[in-house]
Amino acid sequence: MNPVNYLYLSALLFSIGAAGVLIRRNAIVVFMCVELMLNACNLAFVTFSRLHGNLDGQIIAFFTMVVAAAEVVVGLAIIVTIFRSRHSASVDDASLMKL
Amino acid sequence: MENLIGLLIAAPLLGAAVLLCGGRRLDRVGHWIGCVLAGASFVIGVVLFAHMLALGGEERTLREHLFSWVPVGGFQADVAFQLDQLSMTFVLLITGVGTLIHVYSTGYMEHDERRRRFFGYLNLFLAAMLLLVLADNYLLLYVGWEGVGLASYLLIGFWQHKPSAATAAKKAFIVNRVGDMGLSIAIMLMFTTFGTFAFGPVLASTDRASEGVLTAIGLTLLLGACGKSAQVPLQSWLGDAMEGPTPVSALIHAATMVTAGVYLITRSGAIFNASPDAQLVVVVVGAVTLLFGAIVGCAKDDIKKALAGSTMSQIGYMILAAGLGPIGYAFAIMHLVTHGFFKAGLFLGAGSVMHGMNDEVDMRKYGGLRTYMPITFVTFGLGYLAIIGFPGLSGFFSKDKIIEAAFAKGGTEGWILGGVALLGAAITAYYMTRVMIMTFFGEKRWQPDAEGNEPHPHESPKSMTIPMIVLAFGSVFAGGLFSLNEAFVKWLEPVTSFEHGHSPLSAGAVTGATVAVMVIGVALAWAQYGRRPVPVAAPRGSLLTRAARRDLLQDDFNHVVLVRGGEHLTRSLVYLDHTVVDGVVNGTAASVGGLSGRLRKVQNGYARSYAVSMFGGAAVLIAATLLMRAV
């Protein structure tokens, strides 16, 4: 199978994620879309690693996963805090830069 | 001897300080302090005069350097005095006539509760005027010049509870400011041109400057002279200045203030000699003013205002003579001195009449006063004969010389100026005869005033009549003494230089013409006012009479052209400020504000709109990178 197809898939996943971030209002869904975009990138890295025959892309994919895990921790904590004070997880409600 | 020069000024200045700061405890003796210090100044003047006579003609300039005032690099201003023949003449006139007016005021102001203050101001006036004529540089002269302006303001508005007096004082001050501006510009021009403003260096080096600069200095000096000496076009304050007490009018018109302009032009003679254009303007101003004042004087029923018109006219003669150059300076000063005698006498006489008539000034309500006030009548009458140029009296000698010098100017100009001066002499005779007849001759015309007090005309006390008698002596004899062997001209010659003018008419012809026009003027006035009774209510009069009663519309002219014009200019400038200047500032502020209002909407707080801009930005960056690569 031609590895370039993985790149197409990666672009597709990235676009879906981006569209989700822009369109959806539920903070959890937006968050999951961000994860989707990160993982689309990971797929692209790994594919390029395969195409170029070296391990650089795979190493960067690992970095991305670590960063994503840390980001999940912080992001979920913020979302939970907002939900507690507003009883809603809509990103549009949190538009005032204050609780 | 030189040390005495400072004392001349110090005496009246001390008087002013003591009287103005001394408080009420000096109320009872204040006027005597004022008289004594003015008299002391006169005595010092006489001592210096005697000392000066003992010296040779060219050595008669005494100098006293008091202290360095502003020594800054090339700018050296000294407080230093210079007493030469010209200054000496003024010193004697100022302190002599000034002292007589002080003595007179002790009687005239006897019932005024602010008499002490009045004498303080009089002393200040003398001190300022002495500083003006004794200064040895233009900057110190300017200090005296401003001091005179201040003192005249205080004295004209002395009865400041009367709104008319307060307004007149302000008017005199403001009109004088216009002239002062001219003088200050002249001083600045001198400093930039010659690097100094001391009389000696400036007047000795006029050949170093171009004629254009000298004309500019001359014209700005003339503007200053016009303000102080009430010459057209800055003459409007003089008539209103009659609001002050009568001794003040005498002081302003005879000894101080209005003579300052003539002094300035004579002192700066070297500048005017080097600039024929400036000289021409000076003679034109003098000639116009001499007719202007004379015509105004003919129409006034207020005795003081008639005399004020006369002063303006006589100062016009002096300025005219001063504008003629070396053929005229000495005669300008000679007329100034004789005029100082008879005009002071006339004003003090007018004050004496008012004193006896419950402060009535309308000559139509006088009449037949010669039997009630014999001394005033005789002294006023001698002053009258002197001013109209009756042969043998002071005014005859000095005025005749000026008319002769005017003819000697030469060419068409000479004929015009001489003609104007002769015409002025005829009008002078007319209006002074009118004043004389309306006041002292004919039927008595006074009536009880609104409260039923009928005036009881009476002779004034000795304190007032003695100065009048002394001045009458001066009016009679001064001119003759000065002309004896050309004594006055020779006395002034080292300072002002002198040339004999070559008149197209012989001296005898000019004298004959002067006497003839005087007789015509007197006869006309007698025909109009002496032969038939003077109506108590002023007749409507011709167009010229009505205009002259309003000072030939000078106030209307000033109002329409300067006041209204100024208002319009101000209004249009305010409009310009509001629309253009404020418009630019406010427009900038409004557009920046509007733009920020728009930009603020971008910051709406929605996470997704920030995300759009991030994605958009990233997309643009990537597109740009790809494009660059493709290229």
Name the residue among B388, B466, B469, B400 with its Cα closest to residue B434. Answer: B388
* Token digits of residue B561: 């052209």
> Hey, are the CB atoms on A95 and B604 less than 8 Å from each other?
yes
pLDDT at A97: 67
**What pLDDT, on the 0 to 100 scale, is given for residue B126?**
94
Structure confidence at residue B333 (pLDDT): 93
Note if the pTM is more than 0.95.
no
Q: How far is B589 from chain A (nearest CA, A)?
A: 28
State the Cα–Cα distance between residues B52 and B216, nearest whole angstrom. 35
As a whole number, mean pLDDT of residues B150-179 equals 92
CB A95 to CB B608 under 8 A? Answer: no
Nearest 5°: phi and psi at B62? -100, 140
CA distances from B294 to B288, B382, B549 (A): 10, 20, 12
Sequence ranges of the domains in chain A: 26-86
Which pLDDT score is estimated for B551? 79
- Residues of chain B with Cβ-Cβ distance to A33 below 8 Å are none
Give the pLDDT of residue B9.
92
Q: Which of A22, A96, A97 sits opposite B608 (nearest CB)?
A: A22
What is the phi-psi region of residue A53: left when phi exceeds 0, alpha when psi lies from -120 to 50, beta otherwise?
Answer: left
Structure tokens at B343: 């005009």
**Comparing C-alpha atoms, which of B151, B161, B164, B172 is closest to residue B114?**
B161
Beta strands in B183-237 (DSSP E): none
Least confident of A60-74, B33-47, B396-410: B396-410
Give residue B298's identity as a one-letter amino acid code.
C
Chain A closest-CA separation from residue B622 CA (Å): 14
pLDDT at residue B2, rounded to an integer? 76
Contact B608 A96 (CB under 8 A): no
- Check: CB of residue B319 under 8 Å from CB of residue B265: yes
Q: State how far the Cα of A68 lies from the Cα of B93, in Å rounded to an integer.
A: 109
Higher pLDDT, B507 or B339: B339
pLDDT in tens, B295-343: 999 888 899 999 999 999 999 999 999 999 888 899 999 999 999 999 9
Bridge partners, B75 (sequence order): B72
Q: Nearest to residue B336, comparing CAs of B422, B253, B218? A: B253
CA distances to B33, B44, B403, B407, B410 from B317, rounded to whole Å, are 36, 31, 9, 13, 17
Residue of A nearest to B603 (CA): A95
pLDDT exceeds 70 at position B59: yes
Q: Check CB contact of A95 with chain B, cutoff 8 Å.
A: yes
Quick check: helix, strand or coil at residue B82?
Answer: strand
**With contact defined as beta carbons under 8 Å apart, do B399 and B336 qualify?**
no
**B628/B75: higher pLDDT:** B628
CB of B538 within 8 A of CB of B548? no
What is the maximal distance between C-alpha atoms in chain B? 124
- pLDDT over threshold 90, residue B563: no
Tens-place pLDDT, residues B359-413: 888 888 888 888 888 899 999 999 999 999 888 898 898 998 899 999 988 788 8
Six-digit token string for B135: 């200064």
Chain B touched by A89 (CB under 8 Å)? no
A84 touches chain B (CB under 8 A): no
The Cβ of residue A39 has, within 10 Å, a number of other Cβ atoms equal to 18
User: Which pLDDT does position B183 carry in this prediction?
Assistant: 94
- State the Cα angle at B468 between B465 and B472, rounded to 5°: 140
Please say if the pLDDT value at position B501 is more than 90: no
Are B446 and B357 spatial neighbours (Cβ–Cβ below 8 Å)? Answer: yes
User: If we measure between CA atoms, which residue out of A14, A62, A69, A67 comes closest to residue A41?
Assistant: A14
Q: What pLDDT does B502 receive?
A: 80
Q: What is the mean pLDDT of chain B?
A: 89
**Which among B605, B606, B611 has the least Cβ separation from residue A21?**
B611
- Give the pLDDT mean for B87-105: 93
* A:B CB pairs within 8 Å: 22
Residue pLDDT, tens place only, B246-275? 999 999 888 788 999 999 999 999 999 999
Which residues on B lie below 8 Å from A30 (Cβ)? 607
Interface residue of B608, B609, B610 to substitute, partner A, most A CBs within 10 Å: B608
Residue A22 touches partner B, C-beta closer than 8 Å: yes
Residue pair B156/B256 in contact (Cβ under 8 Å)? The answer is no
Question: Hey, what amino acid is at B226?
Answer: C
Task: Report yes or no: A36 and A16 within 8 Å, Cβ to Cβ.
Answer: yes
Residues of B with CB under 8 A from a CB of A: 604-608, 611-612, 615
Whole-number pLDDT of residue B554: 81
Instruction: Tell me which of B104-108, B136-140, B439-443 is least confident.
Output: B439-443
CB B33 within 8 A of CB B18: yes
Q: How confident is the model at residue B99 (pLDDT cuts 50, 70, 90)?
A: very high
Three-class SS of residue B26?
Answer: helix
The answer to which of B60-64, B83-87, B346-350, B605-609 has the lowest mean pLDDT is: B605-609
How many CB atoms are located within 10 Å of the residue B508 CB?
8
Q: Are B37 and B125 in contact (CB under 8 A)?
A: no
Cβ separation A97–B611 shorter than 8 A: no
Q: Which residues on chain A are in Cβ contact (under 8 Å) with B603?
A: none
Show the CA angle centred on residue B536, arms to residues B535 and B537, nearest 5°: 90
Q: What pLDDT shows up at residue B468? A: 92
Please name the member of B604, B607, B615 whose beta carbon is closest to the beta carbon of A91.
Answer: B607
Would you state the pLDDT for residue A99? 59
- Which CATH code fits A26-86? 1.10.287.3510
Kindly report the nearest CA distance between residue A93 and chain B, in angstroms: 8
Please name the residue of chain A whose CA is at the shortest distance from the CA of residue B605.
A95
Whether residue A92 and residue B615 make contact (CB cut-off 8 A), yes or no, is: no
Name the residue facing A97 among B605, B608, B611 (closest C-beta): B605
CA distance B45 to B129: 14
pLDDT digits (tens, 9 = 90+) for A1-51: 788 999 999 999 999 999 999 888 888 999 999 999 999 999 999 999 999
pLDDT recorded at residue B549: 81
Mutate to test the interface with B, among A15, A16, A24, A92 (most CBs of B within 10 A): A92
Q: Pseudo-torsion of CA B91, B94, B100, B105, nearest 10°? A: -140
Q: What letter does residue B77 receive in the DSSP assignment? A: E
Cβ atoms of residues B8 and B95 within 8 Å: yes
CB contact under 8 A, B607 and A95: yes
- Distance from B615 to chain A by nearest Cα, in Å? 8
Q: How far apart are CA B419 and CA B42, in angstroms?
A: 39
As beta bridge partners, residue B80 has B65
